[in-house]
Amino acid sequence: MKKTFYITTPIYYPSGKLHIGNSYTTVLCDTVNRYKGLRGYDTRYLTGMDEHGQKVETVASELGKTPMEHVDDIARDTQNMWRTLDIKYDDFIRTTEKRHKTVVKKIFEQLLEQDDIYLGDYEGYYCMPCESFFTETQLEENHTCPDCGRETELVKEESYFLRLSKYENRLLKFIEDNPGFITPEKRKNEVVAFIKQGLFDLSVSRTSFDWGVKVVSNPAHVVYVWVDALSNYISSLGYGSSDESLFEKYWNGDEVVHVVGKDILRFHAIYWPIMLMALNIPINFKLYAHGWYMMKDGKMSKSTGQVVYPEPLIEKYGLDPLRYFLLKELPYAGDGVFTPEDFIARINFDLANDFGNLLNRTINMINKYFDSKISKPRKSYFEFDKQLTDLVSKTIEVYKEDMDKLNVSSAIQNVWTLISRTNKYIDETKPWVLAKDEDAKKELNSILYNLVESLRHIGILLSPILINSSKELFKQLNIPLELQTWDSLKWGKLGAVEVTDKPTPIFPRLDKKIEEEYILDLLKNNVVEETPENLIEIGDFLKIELVVGVIKECVVHPDADKLLVSQIDTKDKVRQIVSGISKFYTPEELVGKKVIVVKNLKPVKLRGVMSEGMVLAGKNKKELEVLEVSKLKAGDIIS
Ligand code: MSP
């Protein structure tokens, strides 16, 4: 029976187009999955989308779509993109699918019944304009919102909590007993240090939005992101359904690997194993956390245009160069940087010069000296032969170790050491000199055979990485299918060969200057001055009812001296409005002012005092000024 291998990417938020940063994980998993397939494993590869949450609800409504329409669009685009990257996944799970939601509901209710989930109060600082909750430590000075700088409000909301604290010691012991559970080591140490600080129970439900899986026993709550998202790794295998065969086979099989970025390590290394412990499901997975792709000036960011998308690079340079770059340039335990210079250099030096040229030279020499046919030599003629064959065996071993650790970057470097050694072999044996000597035909044949045999090994090792060019290598060298397998990685398995008489370079050399400029231009096009997400329809604006209000009275808030409480006449009534402007105005200065009021804002209590609207003000870094009118009267409409 074949051993099983199950690999997963994180499921992506539908927050827009995925860039090369988040594509990296998917390419990495695809590569490792293909490698395991090559090794004879029965593999399963899962990716998908994390489609619930308040943000989806908000973005969809901004785009004039229902949340479902919005996530359908993004899921379709994402799947198209994976097709372009030739990602061979077996399943694409979406958290909005019934098969997933049923499992989440079941898990939640079971944990609730067992008292691993309990009802409590969530306390956080709420910024109304941003619709976001923050913890106290995330806030700016004076409890203002870290995103928009406005005053936040301390709110309490009923919420369910997962008892993390109860499992703290069991989890620490598990990590200690399973040294390979989290890799690289430095990431494991971060997790252990975090747990040792003490775990707080995790808020796992919300009542403030609707777009999510409803808690069966209390539908006022929706399950909050992580319990929903993490369950995808087993819901997609049919866990808890009438057919658990995939779950049995792959989860309870031989190897399970979750690949995640460093930013979401904690969720996978702490919440997920604790959920599994509580559910009495074996923690059979290993976790690999990779670093991030950065730009020269820092993080990839859509708003500054510091972002690279895969499609235009693939369209212009082909798929393999991008896969190669992504897999090679992100070191095992660190971050990587994308620059146009490096991207073009990798294509020109590594792919065209070192690898492509080796293949091309070899085929050209076979055509020139032997009319495209060579035979298997009876013996070795050169001292260099053994050095080459020894390196081939060693490369297979280190490659295997690296790939099993998901250190694809190092595996690539080792294959390139072999490529360089093979190029050097040509310089050492000088076939062009032997070609002049009629008596040296056998020696010359043996050199070319050794080159093809080395290239065949290189082709097999690169087949999970350079998926198109390895096929092209086999095609141009006419390597039979049975000699393209992992089991055929043994020097001398190759017999006589007849190579193509029409070789084409697999990676053409590029003009450095022209191509770097081309990519820089691509990046410039990515600068979004106004994304569709921040444009609104006129209808959206007209929803806001703005009227003139006259401030009749004003006092300092009894419990918050940063807030002023005004009584404002808007003709329909005198409304009470709380504003965070006491740093700029005394109550006396405000009384009598004719200001602009947002009339139809939902009433809200700010530090215990009801506020029915908002006063408009403009501000810069130093000043804030309440907007005033001169001729208009209370109740006049602003539009
Ligand atoms: N939905 C959650 C994951 C839930 S898994 C149960 C999520 N989604 S995400 O879309 O924000 O991120 C998905 C992955 O992309 C994460 O692993 C994240 O680390 C990765 N990356 C995002 N930007 C990246 C780079 N610039 N470079 C490398 N990986 C990056 O988090």
Under the banding of pLDDT at 50, 70 and 90, the label for residue 124 is confident
Task: For residue 42, report the distance from its CA to the centre of ligand 1, in Å.
Answer: 27
Q: Residue 303 above 70 pLDDT?
A: no
pLDDT in tens, 357-383: 999 999 999 999 999 999 999 999 999
CA angle 359, 364, 367 (to 5 degrees): 130
Task: For residue 553, report the distance from its CA to the centre of ligand 1, in Å.
Answer: 51
Give mean pLDDT, residues 632-637.
Answer: 93
Q: Which residue has the higher pLDDT, 304 or 373?
A: 373
CA 165/CA 558 separation, integer angstroms: 38
What are the angstrom distances between the C-alpha of 307 and each of 20, 325, 339, 475? 8, 16, 11, 36
Task: For residue 11, report the distance from its CA to the centre of ligand 1, in Å.
Answer: 8
Under the banding of pLDDT at 50, 70 and 90, the label for residue 325 is very high
pLDDT for the residue 590: 94
Is residue 65 classed exposed, middle or buried when 0-12, 13-18 and 19+ CB atoms within 10 A define those classes?
Answer: middle
Nearest CA to ligand 1 atom 14: 22
Give mean pLDDT, residues 154-172.
Answer: 93
Under the banding of pLDDT at 50, 70 and 90, the label for residue 526 is confident
Q: Which residue has the higher pLDDT, 143 or 481?
A: 481
Under the banding of pLDDT at 50, 70 and 90, the label for residue 529 is low
Which of 9, 18, 22 is the best mutation target for the ligand 1 pocket, counting ligand atoms within 8 Å of the beta carbon and taking the most? 22
Q: Residue 539 above 80 pLDDT?
A: no
pLDDT for the residue 608: 80
Q: Please report, as a single letter, which amino acid is at residue 278.
A: A
Is residue 586 classed exposed, middle or buried when 0-12, 13-18 and 19+ CB atoms within 10 A define those classes?
Answer: exposed
Contact 595, 551 (CB under 8 A): yes
Under the banding of pLDDT at 50, 70 and 90, the label for residue 298 is confident
pLDDT for the residue 530: 46
pLDDT for the residue 500: 98
CA angle 141, 147, 149 (to 5 degrees): 45
Under the banding of pLDDT at 50, 70 and 90, the label for residue 528 is low
Give mean pLDDT, residues 68-88.
Answer: 97
Nearest CA to ligand 1 atom 7: 12
Under the banding of pLDDT at 50, 70 and 90, the label for residue 306 is confident
Structure token pair of residue 467: 């998926």
Going by C-beta distance under 8 Å and a sequence separation of 6 or more, which residues neighbour residue 333?
Answer: 184, 185, 186, 187, 291
**What is the 3-state secondary structure of 580-601?**
CCCCCCCHHHHCCCEEEEECCC
Under the banding of pLDDT at 50, 70 and 90, the label for residue 524 is confident
Nearest CA to ligand 1 atom 17: 261
The number of the ligand 1 atom at minimal distance from the alpha carbon of 226 is: 6
User: pLDDT over 70 for what percent of the chain?
Assistant: 97
Ligand 1 site residues (CB inside 6 A) read 10-13, 21-22, 24-25, 50, 229-230, 232, 260-261, 263-264, 292-293, 300
Task: For residue 436, report the distance from its CA to the centre of ligand 1, in Å.
Answer: 59
Give mean pLDDT, residues 609-636.
Answer: 89
Nearest CA to ligand 1 atom 8: 12
pLDDT in tens, 556-610: 998 888 889 999 999 999 999 999 888 899 999 999 999 999 999 888 877 788 8
Query: Count of CB atoms within 10 A of residue 477's CB?
Result: 24
pLDDT in tens, 387-399: 999 999 999 999 9
pLDDT for the residue 61: 86
Spell out the domains of the chain, with CATH numbers in brackets.
Answer: 4-290 (3.40.50.620), 313-498 (1.10.730.10), 539-638 (2.40.50.140)
Going by C-beta distance under 8 Å and a sequence separation of 6 or more, which residues neighbour residue 71?
Answer: 14, 49, 51, 56, 60, 94, 96
Q: Identify the sign of the CA torsion 17, 20, 23, 27.
A: positive
Nearest CA to ligand 1 atom 16: 261
Give mean pLDDT, residues 304-324.
Answer: 93
Q: Residue 532 above 60 pLDDT?
A: no
Under the banding of pLDDT at 50, 70 and 90, the label for residue 122 is confident
Q: Residue 477 above 80 pLDDT?
A: yes
Residue with tokens 């399973």: 178
Residue with tokens 């994308």: 338
Q: Residue 486 above 90 pLDDT?
A: yes
Task: For residue 134, report the distance from its CA to the centre of ligand 1, in Å.
Answer: 21
Q: Which residue has the higher pLDDT, 296 or 44?
A: 44
Q: Rounded to two decimals, what is the model's pTM? A: 0.82
CA 256/CA 254 separation, integer angstroms: 7
Nearest CA to ligand 1 atom 15: 22
The number of the ligand 1 atom at minimal distance from the alpha carbon of 230 is: 6
To the nearest whole number, what is the mean pLDDT of the chain?
93
Q: Residue 344 above 60 pLDDT?
A: yes
DSSP label of 510: -
CA 469/CA 507 separation, integer angstroms: 8
Give mean pLDDT, residues 193-216.
Answer: 92
Task: For residue 520, report the distance from its CA to the centre of ligand 1, in Å.
Answer: 25
pLDDT for the residue 367: 98
Give mean pLDDT, residues 412-439.
Answer: 97
